[in-house]
A and B are shown apart, each in its own frame.
Chain A
Amino acid sequence: MSSGNGTPRDDLKIIGRPRRRVDGRAKVTGQTLFADDLVLPRMLHCKLLRSSLPHARILQIDVSRALAHPGVHLVLTGGDFPIPYGILPVSEDETALCTDVVRFVGDPVAAVVARDEFTAAEAVDLIEVEYETLLTIATPEEALATPEPRIHEHSEKGNIHKLVSLSFGDVDQALKDSYRVFDDTFFYQGSTHLAIEQHATLAAMDPDGKLTVWSSTQTPHYLHRALAKVLETPAAHIRVIACPNGGGFGGKSDPFNHEIVVAGAARILDRPVKICLTREEVFYCHRGRHPVQMSFRTGVDREGNITGMHVRTFLDGGAYGSYGVASTFYTGALQTVTYHVPRYRFQGCRVFTNKPPCGPKRGHGTPQPRFGQEVQLDKIAEALDQDPADLRLRIVEKPDTITANYMTVSTIGLAECIRRVVKRSDWRRKFRQLPEGHGLGLACSSYLSGAGLPIYWNRMPHTGVQLKLDRSGGVTVFCGAIEIGQGSDDVLVACVAEVLGIQPFDIRAVTGDTDLTPVDLGSYSSRVTLMMGNAAIQAAERAREILASAVAAHLKVPRSRLVFADNTVLDSADPDTSVSFQEAVCLAEAASGTVGTVGSYTPPRSAARYKGGGVGPTPTYSYTASVVEVRVDPETGWIDVPRVWIAHDIGRALNPTLVRGQVEGDVYMAVGEALMEEQTFRRLPSRLSPALVHKFPSMLEYKSPTSHDMPEVITDLVEDPDPAGPFGAKEVGQGPLLPVMPAVANAVYDAVGVRVDEIPITPEKILKGLELKRAGRSPRVGPGPFPDIDWPEPLEVPPPWEGGDGKAETPKDVPR
C-alpha cells in the first residue's frame, strides 16, 4: 500500500503535512455525538407509518385506536403538514406525510409520538388506512408507456418528469464527416449510500419558545428553509444543528419527512421529540444513484480524436423530484471536460416510477455516463488498434479551455495522472499480454470542486466563515459547513491555523449550526474544501492584518516584515524581535477593540449562459486516472479485483492522510458499485398484493464490500496547485470513485474478452458473455437499443470556436 506522495511546501507548516484530524480524538473515544446519541429530559419518541402500497389514493385514515393506546401523546397525518417542499424549487413535490396519494412502498402516511419507541411502534400498527389502489408504474419503460395515472402533476408530460435537449454545434454533420462512428448502449444499475448511521432527528422547543432541530443532515441550510416553509415559521425562529454525520455520501442531502414531522410534533407538544429510522426505512429514504440507460454515439478521426458526440440518457427517478432535475443535467454535463469534444449533443429524460426517490449519491449523475464514455473509448482504441492510454493522452483536453458546452477547464492534471498509473501498474508490459483470466483496464474521470450555482437562485455567498480572537489567545472559527467524515472541520481549522501561524489544537471550530454559524450551503458537490477553505483563508488573513498592524506599531517594524509562525509574530529581518500570538491578540484588542473577522466565497460566474448551463460549472475540476487489475475464473465467472492503481489531480493535498482516505474510500465504494451493489425491486405475486417492493432492504442482502473484498490500492497524488483552490486544493471526495467502474469493465474484457456494458458486473453476466463467445457470437452483455423518446427540439448553443458566446441561439422559425 503506498500512500499519497504529497510534497509539503517549506513555507507551509500545517498544510500539506500528514496530521491527526482535529476531530480524531473525539471519534476514537466514542465522544462524537451523532443525532441519535442526544437525549433530553421529557423526550418522546416518534415512529412513522409507511405505505404498504406502491401507488394508491388515501381514502380514509382512522387513528382513533392509535390515539387511545396508552403512552401515545400525538398522532399526525398528512393534513397536519399540507405545505409541500422539496430540495429543488422546481420540484417541491413532497409533503411531510402523504396528503392524498402514496407513491411508493415506504412513503410516510402517519406519525405516532409516544413515551418510548416500543409504544410508538405498537400504536403505528393500530392505525387503519383505507386505500384505493392506483396503477403501479414499476419500470422506466412503463413510465414512458403510461402517461396516466400521473405520479405527479408537475411532470413535463405524462410520467416524464424532465426532458433535456441541448446541442452544441452540428453533431450530425460532424458524425457524417467522421472516419468511424461508434454506437453503444449502456446500463448502470441504481445503488444506495448505505451510510452506517441511520438518519436521526431530535427537535425541541427552546426555553424562549423558539424551535431547535438536531439532525443527521448534510444540508442544514436547506433543511432550515424547508422547515420554515412547511411550519410557516420565520427561519430566524428555527435553529438547525447538523450533528456530525455517520456517513452521508449524498444520502442526507434532502430535507426529509421525519425531520419535519418531529419538528412539528415538538412544537405541538412543547416537548423534545426524537426519531431514529430503522435500516429498512433508510432504504426507503434512498435518494441514491439513478438507474440510467445510455446511448453514446461518438465519431472519431483516423487518429482517434473525437469529432462529435451524441449522448442520450434515460433515468429512473423513482417517486419524487428530489435533486432529479440536476441529476438529469449531470448525466450530460461533464463528458466534455476530460477529452476534447468539438461538437456535442445531450438529451436526457427522467421519469417517475413508484419506487423510493433517486437523488445524489457520490458522483451525482456523472458515474453512469462516465462508465459509458470510458468503456466506449476502450472499444474505440481497440478498433483503431491503439493503446487506450495513448489514445487518451492524445485527446486530453487542454488547460484554460472553455469546452463545447461552456464548462471552464482551468488546470488539468489528467495526462500526468494517466502517465502515473500506466507506469506504476506496469501497463506497457501487461495490457493485452496477461494470461487468460487476468486483465488490466484503464479509465479516467473528472469531477466538480463544488457546484458553481446554489440550489435556489440568489446572489449571496455560498459559504461564510467568522473568526473570533480574544486576549486568551484562543481562536474560534464559525462556519455552517458540516462534518460528515470527510474532514470538513479539519480543513476549516487547518486553513486558519496556517494563516495565523498557530496550531490546529489552538483553534475551536463551531460548525453546522444555523444560529451560531454563517451560512454554508452544505456538504455536497465536493464544495466544502474549496469554498469554505477560501472563505476561511480570507477571514484569517483579515485577522492577521489586524494583528499585524498592532504588532508593527508595538515592535516598531514595518508590517510587511512580520511573519506569523509557531505561535509567534516575528520580524523576519530580526527573528529575536517578536511577540507571542497571544500577546499579538492583546495588542490588537487594545489598539482597535474586539477582534473579529469574516470571510466568504462566491464562485466565479460561469461561461455557460444557456438554460441548463447552471449544472456542471465549478471553480475547478479535479481529474483522476485509474488502472484496475482483475482475475476472472472462466468456470464460475467469479471476478476478483486484487489491485487498483489510482492517480488523482488534487491541486494540493491539505492533509495527505485525509486525502488518501478519501481516495481509498472512493475506490471502495466504486468496487462495491462495479461488482455487487444494486437497489432493485420486485412485484409481489398479484394474488397476494399489488405491491412493488424493495428486493432486499437489509444490509445482509444488499451486498457491499467487507474487509475481505477490498483490493490493494496504490494511490498517487498529482499536485499542481490550482489558483482557484485554497492553497491550490481541488476536491477529492467524489472524483476518484468515477474511473474505477469502467476500468473494471475494461479489465474484464482484457481478461476474458467479454464486454459487460452494464453495472454491476456479476459472475452471471460474465458467464453469459463467455457462452456467447463459445457460440461464436458477439461476447457482449448489456442493454438492447435505447428506448424511443419524443425529444423536444434541442436548444442550439454554438460552441466557442464556432462564434458562440455561451448563450442559446434565438430559436429559428421552427413550425410550432
Chain B
Amino acid sequence: MKNAHMTLTINGEETEVSFAPYKTLLEVLREDLRLTGTKHGCELGECGACAVLLDGKPVLSCLVLGLECDGREVLTVEGLAEDGRLHPLQETFADMGAAQCGYCTPAILVTARELLDRIPNPSREQVREALSGILCRCTGYHQIFEAVEAAMTCTPLPAAGRARDEPLETEA
C-alpha cells in the first residue's frame, strides 16, 4: 500500500504529511505528525475525545479520513495557545478544576473554543449542548461549564500556584 501525500494547515502552519491511505485524521495527527494532544477513547465516534476543529468546525477526527483533509485547516489543542500565551479557556480550565485526568480536556477545549467563536456569550444550556458529544468521566461537567463561562471574562483566581506569575490576559 503506497502512502498518500498531502499538504494541510495544522494549527496555522502549512504542513506536509505522508501516511497510509486508510488512516483517519486522528491517526495522521497522532502517529504521523506526533501531535498526541488529541486523544481517543473508542475510535468509533462515540466518546468525543478526538474532537478537533476542521475548517473551524468541530469534528470527530476518528471519523474523518486523512485523505479528506487535503488543503484544509485543522486546529488541535496544541494550537490553542498563541504568541506564547495560553488561550483564556486553557487558563480557566487549569484554574477551576475543569481538567481532572485531562484526557477529554483537549477535545472539550477546542469544542468550547468554537462555541465561543460562534456565540461569545453562550447560556448554560448552549454550553451543555455544545459539549454534549464529549464524555467526561471525572468532573461531573460543572467545573467545565463554569470554566467555559469564566473564559468569556477570564475571571482569575488567586495567583498562588499559577504556573507563571503574570496576570491573566482578558479577551479584547
What are the residues of chain B within 8 A of A710 when measuring CB–CB?
A: 140-142
Stretch in contact with the other chain, from B65-73, B94-102, B115-123 = B94-102
A179 at the interface (CB under 8 A from B): no
CB <8 Å contact, B139 and A29:
no
Q: Does A504 contact B (CB under 8 A)?
A: yes
Q: Does residue A785 face the partner (Cβ distance < 8 Å to B)?
A: no
- Tell me if B54 is interfacial: C-beta within 8 Å of chain A: no
Query: Which of A240-248, A259-267, A445-453, A549-557 participates in binding chain B?
Result: A240-248
Residue in contact with A279 in the complex, picked from B43, B137, B141, CB distance below 8 Å: B43
How far apart sit A325 and B151, CA to CA, in the bound complex (Å)? Answer: 48
Determine the residue in chain A with the shortest Cβ distance to B81.
A29
Of A1, A32, A657, chain B has the most CB atoms within 10 Å of the CB of A32
Q: Closest Cβ of chain A: how far from B31's Cβ, in Å?
A: 8
B142 CB, nearest partner CB in chain A, Å: 5
**Residue B36 at the chain A interface, CB threshold 8 Å:** yes
Inter-subunit contact A247/B103 (CB<8 Å): yes
Least Cβ–Cβ distance between A648 and chain B, in angstroms: 14
Q: Are A196 and B99 in contact (CB under 8 A)?
A: no
Give the distance to chain B from A522, nearest Cβ to Cβ, in Å.
Answer: 16
Task: Report the Cα distance A206→B82, complex, angstroms.
Answer: 38
| Residue numbers in A under 8 Å from B136 (CB-CB) | 196, 707
**A29 / chain B contacts, CB cutoff of 8 Å:** 37, 77-78, 80-81, 86, 90
Q: Are A706 and B161 in touch, CB under 8 angstroms?
A: no
Q: How many residues of B contact A (CB 8 A)?
A: 65
Bound form: Cα–Cα A246–B105 in Å: 10
Closest chain A residue, CB of each to CB of B110: A30
Which of A335-343, A379-387, A483-491 lies at the binding interface?
A: A483-491
Query: Is A699 a contact of B41 with CB atoms below 8 Å?
Result: yes
Contact B135 A699 (CB under 8 A): yes
A397 to chain B, nearest CB (A): 29
Q: How far is the CB of B22 from chain A (nearest CB, A)?
A: 7
**What residues of A have a CB within 8 angstroms of the CB of B172 in the complex?**
none
Asked if B162 CB lies within 8 Å of chain A CBs, one says yes
For residue A791, give the distance in angstroms from its CB to the closest CB of chain B.
38
Complex CA gap A23/B161 in Å reads 10
Are A698 and B94 in contact (CB-based, < 8 A)?
Answer: no
Against B, the Cβ 8 Å flags (1 = close, 0 = not) of A448-463 are 0000000000000000
A713 and B97 alpha carbons, distance in the complex (Å): 15
List which A672-721 residues lie within 8 A (CB) of chain B. 698-700, 704, 706-708, 710, 713
Contact partner, B160, options A246, A503, A660, A704, Cβ 8 Å: A503
The tally of residues in A whose CB lies under 8 Å from a CB in B reads 65
Q: Which residues of A contact B97 (CB under 8 A)?
A: 21, 657-658, 660-661
Measured in the bound complex, the distance between the Cα atoms of B93 and A667 in whole Å is: 20
- In the complex where A18-B158, A20-B163, A34-B103 touch, is A664 in contact with B90 (Cβ < 8 A)? no
Most buried by B among A28, A39, A698: A28
> Contact: B140 with A14, CB < 8 Å?
no
Residues of A within 8 A of B35 (CB): 30
Asked whether, in the complex, the Cβ of B101 is within 8 Å of the Cβ of A661, the reply is no
Closest beta carbon of chain A to B30's beta carbon, Å = 8
Chain A, 10-35, CB within 8 A of any chain B CB:
13-14, 17-34
Q: Is A203 an interface residue (CB 8 A)?
A: no
Determine whether A467 belongs to the interface, using a CB cutoff of 8 Å to chain B.
Answer: no
Tell me the bound Cα distance from A240 to B78 in angstroms.
Answer: 28
Take A1-B142, A197-B39, A699-B42 as given contacts and tell me if A17 and B158 are in contact as well, using a CB distance cutoff of 8 Å.
yes
Give every chain B residue within 8 A of A801 (Cβ-Cβ): none
Q: Check if A485 sits within 8 Å of B81, measured CB to CB.
A: no
Instruction: Using known A-B contacts A29-B86, A661-B143, A708-B132, determine if residue A197 contacts B101 with beta carbons closer than 8 Å.
Output: yes
B102-A32 in contact (CB<8A): yes
**Chain B residues whose CB sits within 8 angstroms of the CB of A706 once the complex forms:** 132-133, 135
- A22 engages B161 (CB within 8 Å): yes
* Shortest distance between the CB of B68 and any CB in chain A (Å): 19
At the interface, yes or no: B106 with Cβ under 8 Å from chain A?
Answer: yes
- The yes or no answer to A437 lying at the interface (CB within 8 A) is no
Which B residues are in CB contact (< 8 Å) with A323? none
- Residues B157 and A18 in contact, CB atoms below 8 Å apart: yes
Given contacts A29-B78, A118-B20, A196-B39, contact A664 B140 (CB under 8 A): yes
Decide yes or no whether A249 CB sits under 8 A from chain B. Answer: yes
B34 at the interface (CB under 8 A from A): yes
- Of B36, B103, B127, which one neighbours A196 at CB under 8 angstroms? B103
Chain B residues lying within 8 Å of A194, measured Cβ to Cβ, are 135, 137
Residue B44 lies at the interface, judged by CB distance under 8 Å to chain A? yes
A484-510 residues with Cβ-Cβ distance < 8 A to B are 484-487, 503-505
Given contacts A21-B97, A668-B139, 13 further A-B contacts (CB under 8 A): A14-B161, A18-B158, A20-B161, A24-B99, A26-B102, A27-B101, A33-B36, A196-B103, A196-B104, A246-B39, A279-B44, A657-B96, A664-B143
Q: Report, nearest first, the 9 A-B pairs whose CB atoms are least far apart.
A: A30-B37, A485-B101, A27-B102, A246-B103, A24-B94, A668-B140, A664-B140, A30-B77, A37-B36
Q: 29 A-B residue contacts at CB 8 Å?
A: A24-B93, A26-B102, A28-B94, A29-B77, A29-B86, A29-B90, A30-B38, A30-B106, A32-B102, A37-B30, A196-B47, A196-B137, A246-B41, A279-B43, A484-B101, A503-B160, A505-B161, A657-B95, A661-B139, A664-B139, A668-B137, A668-B139, A699-B46, A700-B46, A704-B135, A707-B136, A707-B141, A710-B140, A710-B141
Residues of A within 8 A of B (CB): 1, 13-14, 17-34, 36-37, 39, 118, 193-198, 244-249, 278-279, 484-487, 503-505, 657-658, 660-661, 664-669, 698-700, 704, 706-708, 710, 713
